[in-house]
A and B are shown apart, each in its own frame.
Chain A
Amino acid sequence: MVRNGTANGTAARSQAAEIDRLKRRLDRERLARREAEAIAERTTRGLYDEVAARTRELECIVDMGRELAQSLDDRGFADLIASHIARAVGFDECGIFAWDKIQDTVVTAGYHPAARRSALIDVYPLDDYPETRRVLMSGQRSITDPADPTADSSEVSFLLGMGGKLMIQLPMNVGGRTIGTVELISLSGQMLSDRQIDLAQSMASEAGVMLENARLYAEVRHQAFHDHLTGLPNRALLGDRMEHALARGRAPKLPLVGLVFVDVDDFKVINDSHGHEVGDRALIAISQRLQQLVRSGDTVARFSGDEFAILIEDLESPEDAHLAARRVVRAFQKPLTVAGREITMSVSVGVDVGNALSTTPEDLVRNADFAMYIAKASGKSQHEVYQASARAAADDGAKMRSDLRGAVRRGELRLHYQPIIELRSGRIRSFEALIRWQHPERGLLSPAAFIPTAEATGAIIGIGDWVLETACKQLRAWQELEPELAVSVNLSGSQLHDGHVIEHVASILDRTGLDPRTLILEMTETILVADPGAERVLRELQNLGVRLAIDDFGTGYASISYLRRFAVDILKIDREFTDAVDTAEGTALLGGITQLGRSLGLELVAEGIERPRQAELVRNAGCDLGQGFLFARPAPPEDAAALLRPGGLPIQASSITS
């Protein structure tokens, strides 16, 4: 029993122990389950918070990036960065400072709140802020707490000056370089968590990239709109400013805008005589002098090379622009000091004025430029106001110039021939070749209408060649009938000056086989006097055997000395003397000239004979040859040829010698 009892007792005890053991096991499992659930909850919540915090941080960065990307060229760019960073970490104030390595300073770029910006100065020398320098050099953050006795005193006084109690300086790191700092200031003295500091650091570096982009953008834009040498606005920016200046205001109060166009007279000479480096420095000095002349709102631009333009906005009256132009001309009457030497120069200035209704930027430039040309043409160091009538005339001239360039090529030039008659026999001695231009729009033009333009543009050389060639070929053909016949061709001053005419005449004589004596070259006495080099050319021509005639003799210098010096063969007496021949005085004058000519062994031709009586008087005065409407007008070659046939001349020598 006892044993049983004991056995039972043992069994009961072991059963109880077993239950106990199982209970403990159950408790353990229950406890473990609860703990696992609690851990799972904590973990889930923690992950959720983490994700939410990370998302918010990313949003801060993304929002800032997005907003900054849209305002890359705004002045408040850095203010925007500051406000984003301050708000992201919940700090009161935030400054953005750009590192100027050359000046060894930081420059205040932006601040939040923007209204507090005035508490800052623009530039902080790094010598005064060693802690800021450390942040920039090391790329490591720094925390300034005034309560910390080891805190840098200059940073502390800056912080206290801003009314702050704690400052965190973060480096703006861009691709391994530090370009500035972000300084977070707490007014309450609260500290940021490591996490917040990391966020601010991420944003600072992100902002650094954007700031760097903004700086590059500004730099590129500045380069695109400014002249590299002088730093002045360039033509593109000038155009833009003109556009804006004209577009401001509304009718009837449209602003009056003036453009002063400035061109340095003979700038090439400065470059040639002093070298391009001095030339460049002169341009800089010129740009500076121009800038001193204008109000702050006006634009001095470098238009091109040695051309500058001044845009004057909001003129009271057009006269103000004219006064400005005069000031510019005067300003350059004082020499310019360039690279230690004084350089004397002058400028030619043109002005045009208008408002949005009357002009466009393009017109302003064109007209002011044109007026400048007029000023230059009228003797340099002048100013000229644009006038539409001058433009119209110039436009005609321009059209004439471009038409004339192609006239020879297009075969629009003609030669008409007027005979020169032996007054005694009535025989045709020679023909004077006279040029005409069969203009496609304006009809047949006389030389007066286009030769001055041809002279001015140099087209005269080509035209002169053509005339010589054509006249000589024509003469060669006529000489089949009249072997003694001669032709006279007019030479211009440029042809004589050029000297090329010698070669050309030689070549024509050679090709046509003409007797050189039958080619007469006519020129006015003015040309001979004006060009000292003409003498050599004339001698060469005479060596070829051709004869020389002085045209319109008596209207200019009527100098005997050059008649002798140039060994002239023929004297053509101006029509003025023919006209006056029926007066006693006129007869005496003509007589004097013919006597003079004869004594020099010259042939004499009276020009402009229109009436038989004139022909008679001229012949009586001792002049053997005559030319004029009385005998024939200048005519195309086929009509002129008809004159050579017997009875071809409408008026016979017999009628003169009545």
Chain B
Amino acid sequence: MRTGADAPSPQLAAHGVAQPVKGVVFDLLERTIVAEHGEDAWDDLLATTGLTGAYTSLGSYPDGQFRRLVDEAAVSFGMSPQDVIRWFGRKALPMLAASYPEFFTPHTSTRPFLLTLNDIIHPEVRKVYPGADVPWFDISATADGALVMGYQSQRRLCSFAEGLITGAADYFAEDVAIDQPRCMLRGDSACALVVRLG
């Protein structure tokens, strides 16, 4: 299902620029881990990383904290960091759908929902979380009907995008296959997520 690179996080750290991550992401991460692995798992993660973990969805926190949590989770759960991020995105999506149903209910399938990302969903995110640096997807379609979502971000969270898209397909009860013929984690200048639905 994935061909995205499972690059180790040090590489991410080496190239990442210290850009704060919105508290809502930490909040979602905590809720995902608690839901899947219990409250102690999150406590343990905080204890192991030595982070206070007093995250609020309104605040912003250093990028490094997110990466340390992901890396430590990867060790604990026996997954690669990118898989953790992908897994996190897929599990976080239903939580977003519960909190913000207005973005989901107008649609009955994944494709039109994804097409509202740039113009509706992300502008709304910026209103709720001032200063949120949400990505802009360069969306096009291939001849056989697949969506190509170009992604370029210094955070290189293409795996998170992949997870969220998969979660959206789950939500609309559709099958999805995502390829990344180009990926910043493999040294490309931008990522290209080719999304095939149905």
Contacts and interface: CB of A to CB of B under 8 A. Distances in A.
Query: Among A32, A35, A36, A39, which residue has the most Cβ atoms of chain B within 10 A?
Result: A32
Contacts of B52: 28, 31
Contacts of B130: 43
Interface string A54-89: 000000000000000000000000000000000000
Interface string A321-353: 000000000000000000000000000000000
A25 B43 contact: yes
Contacts of A28: 46, 52-54
Given A21-B43, A24-B43, A39 B54 contact: no
Nearest to A27: B54
Given A21-B43, A24-B43, A25-B43, A33 B53 contact: no
Q: Is the interface of A mostly helix, strand, loop or mixed?
A: helix
B43 A31 contact: no
A40 interface: yes
B58 interface: yes
B56 A36 contact: yes
Contacts of B43: 21, 24-25
B66 interface: no
A31 B59 contact: no
Contact of A40 (B39, B40, B54, B58): B58
Contact of B54 (A21, A32, A43): A32
Interface residues of B, number: 13
A9 to B, nearest CB: 21
Given A21-B43, A24-B43, A39 B56 contact: yes
B171 interface: no
Contacts of A29: 54
B53 A36 contact: no
Interface in B43-65: 43, 46, 52-59
Query: Among A25, A28, A29, A40, which residue has the most Cβ atoms of chain B within 10 A?
Result: A28
Interface residues of A, number: 14
A36 B43 CA distance: 20
Interface string B80-112: 000000000000000000000000000000000
A16 to B, nearest CB: 15
Interface in A9-41: 21, 24-25, 27-29, 31-33, 35-36, 39-40
B135 to A, nearest CB: 23
Contacts of B55: 32
Interface string B13-33: 000000000000000000000
A33 B58 CA distance: 10
A28 B130 CA distance: 24
A52 B181 CA distance: 49
B53 A43 contact: no
Contact of B59 (A21, A24, A25, A39): A39
Contacts of A21: 40, 43
Contact of A43 (B46, B57, B58): B58
Contacts of B57: 36
Contacts of A43: 58, 130
Contacts of B59: 35-36, 39
Contacts of A33: 56
B44 to A, nearest CB: 9
B54 A31 contact: yes
B20 to A, nearest CB: 13
Contacts of A24: 43
Interface in A303-334: none
Contacts of B54: 27-29, 31-32, 35
Nearest to B58: A39
A390 to B, nearest CB: 86
A35 B53 CA distance: 12
Contacts of B40: 21
Nearest to B39: A25
A351 to B, nearest CB: 78
Nearest to B131: A43
Nearest to A30: B54
20 contacts: A21-B43, A25-B39, A27-B54, A28-B46, A28-B52, A28-B53, A29-B54, A31-B54, A32-B55, A33-B56, A35-B54, A35-B58, A35-B59, A36-B56, A36-B58, A36-B59, A39-B56, A39-B59, A40-B58, A43-B130
Interface of B: 39-40, 43, 46, 52-59, 130
Given A25-B43, A36-B57, A36-B58, 19 more contacts: A21-B40, A21-B43, A24-B43, A27-B54, A28-B52, A28-B53, A28-B54, A29-B54, A31-B52, A31-B54, A33-B56, A35-B54, A35-B58, A35-B59, A36-B56, A39-B59, A40-B58, A43-B58, A43-B130
Interface of A: 21, 24-25, 27-29, 31-33, 35-36, 39-40, 43
3 A-B pairs closest in CB distance: A31-B54, A36-B56, A39-B58
